[in-house]
Amino acid sequence: MRGDYVMYCSDEAWQGGVRVGMPLSEAGALMNNRSSNRKPNHCHSSSAQLPLTMQHNPDADRCALQELAHWCQRFSPWVALELDDEPSSLLLDMTGLEPLLGHELKVSQQVGRAFERLGYKVQLGFGDHVGTAWAAAHYGNLNTTSPWLHEANLSNLPVEALRLPNKVLDLMASLGISQVHQLQSLPRPALASRLGQKLVQRLGQIEGSCPEVLIPYQPPPEFQFRWVAEHPIANHQSIHQALYLLIERLANQLLQRQQGAMELECQLICQVPTACQYNVPHIDQIVDGKTGNRNVPVVLKIGLFQPRATVDHLEKLVQIHLEQLRLPGPVCEILMRATATAKLKIRQGELFDDPSRRQTQQLATLVERLEGRLGQKAIVGARLNTDILPERMVCDEKLTGLQARSSRRAPSHSKHLQTQKTSYPTIRPLQLHTPPVPLEIIAVVPDGPPIRFRIRGQISQVSRHWGPERIETGWWRGKSVRRDYYRIETTHGNRLWLFRCLEDGQWFLHGSFT
Q: Point out which residues bind other proteins (CB under 8 A).
A: 1-2, 16-17, 19, 25-26, 28-30, 33-34, 37, 44-45, 47-48, 50, 53, 171, 174-177, 182-183, 185-187, 190, 193-195, 385-388, 390, 393, 416, 419-420, 422-424, 427-428, 466-473, 475-478, 482, 484
Torsion sign, CA atoms 340, 346, 349, 353: negative
- Cβ at position 411, least distance to other proteins in Å: 13
Nearer to other proteins, 167 or 357 (CB): 167
The alpha carbon torsion through 490, 496, 497, 502 (nearest 10 deg) reads -40
- Cβ at position 482, least distance to other proteins in Å: 8
> Which letter does DSSP use for residue 44 in this model?
S
- Cβ at position 59, least distance to other proteins in Å: 21
- Cβ at position 452, least distance to other proteins in Å: 22
- Cβ at position 497, least distance to other proteins in Å: 12
Nearer to other proteins, 244 or 466 (CB): 466
Nearer to other proteins, 308 or 510 (CB): 510
Report how far residue 482's alpha carbon sits from residue 143's, in angstroms, rounded to the nearest whole number.
74
Residue 508: count other Cβ atoms within 10 Å of its Cβ.
17
Burial track 135-153 (b if 16+ CB lie within 10 A, e otherwise): bbbbbbeeeeeebbbeeeb
Backbone angles phi and psi of 315, in degrees to 5: -60, -40
Largest Cα–Cα separation, the chain? 106
- Cβ at position 54, least distance to other proteins in Å: 11
Asked if 497 contacts 484 with a C-beta cutoff of 8 angstroms, the reply is no
- Cβ at position 36, least distance to other proteins in Å: 8
Report how far residue 120's alpha carbon sits from residue 403's, in angstroms, rounded to the nearest whole number.
34
Alpha helices in 266-354, H assignment, sequence order: 311-323
Nearer to other proteins, 3 or 281 (CB): 3
Nearer to other proteins, 274 or 419 (CB): 419
Q: Element (H or E) spanning 332, and its range?
A: strand 331-343
- Cβ at position 12, least distance to other proteins in Å: 13
- Cβ at position 172, least distance to other proteins in Å: 10
Nearer to other proteins, 36 or 494 (CB): 36
Nearer to other proteins, 145 or 174 (CB): 174
Nearer to other proteins, 33 or 403 (CB): 33
Report how far residue 440's alpha carbon sits from residue 108's, in angstroms, rounded to the nearest whole number.
82
Overall size of the chain counted in residues: 514
DSSP labels for 438-485? E-EEEEE-TTS-EEEEEETTEEEEEEEEEEEEEEEE-TTTSSPEEEEE
| Residue from 60, 59, 196, 76 nearest 133 by CA | 76
- Cβ at position 357, least distance to other proteins in Å: 29
- Cβ at position 44, least distance to other proteins in Å: 7
Residue 77: count other Cβ atoms within 10 Å of its Cβ.
10
Nearer to other proteins, 181 or 301 (CB): 181
**3-state SS string for 114-170:** HHHHHCCCCCCCEECCHHHHHHHHHHCCCCCCCCEECHHHHHHCEHHHHCCCHHHHH
236-256 helix and 311-323 helix, angle to the nearest 10 degrees: 140
- Cβ at position 462, least distance to other proteins in Å: 16
Q: Strand (E) positions, 42-110?
A: 79-81, 90-92
Asked if 261 contacts 314 with a C-beta cutoff of 8 angstroms, the reply is yes
Nearer to other proteins, 329 or 468 (CB): 468
The amino acid at residue 265 is E
Nearer to other proteins, 277 or 423 (CB): 423
Nearer to other proteins, 175 or 443 (CB): 175
Determine the Cα angle at 276 with ends 274 and 279, to 5°. Answer: 100
